[in-house]
Amino acid sequence: MDTQIYGVSKLIFIIYIVISVISVIFCSALPTEKSSNVVVVKSNSTSSPISSNSVLVALLDSHYTELAELVEKALLLQKLEEAVGKHNITIFAPRNEALERDLDPEFKRFLLEPGNLRSLQTLLMFHIIPKRIGSTQWPQSVDSSSVAHKTLSKQHVILSSDDKDSSKKVDLATVIRPDDVIRPDGVIHGIERLLIPRSVQEDFNRRRNLRSISAVIPEGAPEVDPRTHRLKKPVSSPAPAGSPPALPIYDAMAPGPSLAPAPAPGPGGPRHHFNGESQVKDFIQTLLHYGGYNEMADILVNLTSLATEMGKLVSEGYVITVLAPNDEAMAKLTTDQLSEPGAPEQIMYYHIIPEYQTEESMYNAVRRFGKVSYDTLRLPHKVVAQEADGSVKFGNGDESAYLFDPDIYTDGRISVQGIDGVLFPLNEETKQVSETKTDQSSWSKVAVKPRRGKLLEVACGMLGAFCP
């Protein structure tokens, strides 16, 4: 008996040793292949970066947190990313309560079981139409013109309007926040309950039958009688104070040197809900106190009128994120790069994103989507960000910069993120690389010479008499 047990454990011990040895051999032999695999997968799924302005990014950041969570759980992000790459989408987003409180707990459990991933995916894609349908494109009344639209799940939803209170409906769900989120590639309408496609309902019922539980069609919130409907459709009113401006930021920018001519100031006029000038002053003070960003502050204040312009934009209600290269990065700029008229402005415009982004929001976006492209004030150039080493990396190849000092300044309208490189739009980067090749010596000579206030020198050279 004893020897037998001893024999068994000895056998197990030997097997254990053999497995360990094999795994050690494998692990040491495989890593290169393994890591190259990972790179291939990543570069495939992220070949065209998603725009930070995308409706998908907006969904994940929105108050529809329950839906966003389900979309991630259902592993649908990549598929939806491909969809918005091809066409606009319309998302019907059930409010959180519809997924938390109002949903049959058993149905919810069913959806979340790993084995029912297909059903969950079908259910979610039933909430998305592969084209843009704004609230104005709704059919006018129930009888005359309800319209069926094919969803991403291949099944159809019916859009209709109620005769009595003219509320908009998708199947049985009332639209409670029409046009809640509007982005260039799609729109999100908030709806009052979950939409359940027939096929998923049937899957669920089949499962219940198997468990010999009485089959009941899962139901969302009880239907409200349209005549006594309490939810009044929000009337579109003039923009309340503090709401984002109607015009794109480019229309509000002052025409700069060698910028495309900006259109005349649009209707609406200055709103001045915010004291942008003092906010810009604040952030430049913060930048100076923070240390290591003097060149950037200098450019904004002393070399260009960008600080003033940013102040105006923020006063008008626009929000901006500044990617501020630190002094070390600025020191690597060559005289050539700066001597073109308007070059400092052009370089800085490329570092200003017309969105409010924090370290967290950017990191979340790149972690979820791999690559994200942000608009800049330097039209039409975008800056691409991706996850790298647990941080955010901007730009491509050699001309890239890491998020180095996150959230130096964040006040809800202006966000300043320190980066460790100066960024250039992609085509310029290649031009610059070829120039570097032909003129390697002068490049490296200038590049290694550290200096402070060289920008001022260059600008003085350009302006001549104005400098002491």
Q: Cα separation of 391 and 60, whole Å?
A: 19
Q: Please state the closest distance from residue 163 (CB atom) to ligand NAG, in A.
A: 29
Which stretch, 158-166, 297-305, 427-435, 441-449, contacts ligand NAG (CB under 6 A)? 297-305
Q: Please state the closest distance from residue 41 (CB atom) to ligand NAG, in A.
A: 8
Q: For 305-369, where are the alpha helices, taking DSSP H only?
A: 306-315, 327-331, 335-339, 343-349, 359-369
Q: Please state the closest distance from residue 151 (CB atom) to ligand NAG, in A.
A: 17
Q: Cα separation of 380 and 5, whole Å?
A: 75
With CB under 6 A as the rule, give the number of residues binding ligand NAG.
11
301 binds ligand NAG (CB under 6 A): yes
Which of 10, 34, 87, 272 binds ligand NAG (CB under 6 A)? It is: 87
Q: Cα separation of 323 and 406, whole Å?
A: 10
Nearer to ligand NAG, 44 or 140 (CB): 44
SS3 459: helix
Q: Cα separation of 170 and 466, whole Å?
A: 66
Which of 297, 322, 348, 419 binds ligand NAG (CB under 6 A)? It is: 297
Q: Cα separation of 301 and 281, whole Å?
A: 9
Q: Please state the closest distance from residue 96 (CB atom) to ligand NAG, in A.
A: 27
88 binds ligand NAG (CB under 6 A): yes
Which of 44, 141, 144, 440 binds ligand NAG (CB under 6 A)? It is: 44
Nearer to ligand NAG, 99 or 422 (CB): 422
Nearer to ligand NAG, 284 or 403 (CB): 284
Helix or strand (DSSP H, E) at 403: strand 401-410
Q: Please state the closest distance from residue 300 (CB atom) to ligand NAG, in A.
A: 7
Q: Cα separation of 235 and 279, whole Å?
A: 33
Nearer to ligand NAG, 132 or 233 (CB): 132
Residue type, 134: G
Give the burial string for 297-312 (b: 16+ CB within 10 Å, else e): bbbbbebbebbebbbb
Nearer to ligand NAG, 186 or 395 (CB): 186
Q: Cα separation of 434 and 278, whole Å?
A: 43
**Residues 237 to 296 in contact with ligand NAG, rule: CB under 6 A:** 284, 294
91 binds ligand NAG (CB under 6 A): no
Which stretch, 215-223, 259-267, 298-306, 393-401, contacts ligand NAG (CB under 6 A)? 298-306
Nearer to ligand NAG, 83 or 194 (CB): 83
Which of 302, 339, 440, 444 binds ligand NAG (CB under 6 A)? It is: 302
Nearer to ligand NAG, 154 or 452 (CB): 452
Which two tokens mark 164? Answer: 């009595």
Q: Please state the closest distance from residue 132 (CB atom) to ligand NAG, in A.
A: 5
172 binds ligand NAG (CB under 6 A): no
How many residues are listed for the chain in this entry?
A: 468
Write the binding mask 124 to 153 for ligand NAG: x where contact by CB under 6 A, - elsewhere: --------x---------------------
Which two tokens mark 282? Answer: 């604040």
Query: Among residues 250, 249, 248, 91, which one has the least CA distance to residue 185?
Result: 91
Nearer to ligand NAG, 42 or 229 (CB): 42
Nearer to ligand NAG, 67 or 459 (CB): 459
Show Cβ contacts of residue 93 under 8 Å, excluding neighbours closer than 6 positions.
Answer: 59, 62, 64, 67, 127, 180, 188, 189, 190, 191
Q: Cα separation of 358 and 219, whole Å?
A: 39
330 binds ligand NAG (CB under 6 A): no
- Going by their DSSP bridges, the two strands 320-325 and 352-353 should be labelled as antiparallel
Q: Please state the closest distance from residue 464 (CB atom) to ligand NAG, in A.
A: 18
Which of 180, 185, 345, 399 binds ligand NAG (CB under 6 A)? It is: 185
Q: Is 219 within 8 Å of 171 (Cβ atoms)?
A: no
Give the burial string for 28-64 (b: 16+ CB within 10 Å, else e): eeeeeeeeeeeeeeeeeebeebbbbbbbbbbbbebeb
Q: Please state the closest distance from residue 308 (CB atom) to ligand NAG, in A.
A: 13
**Binding region for ligand NAG (CB under 6 A):** 44, 87-88, 132, 185, 284, 294, 297-298, 301-302
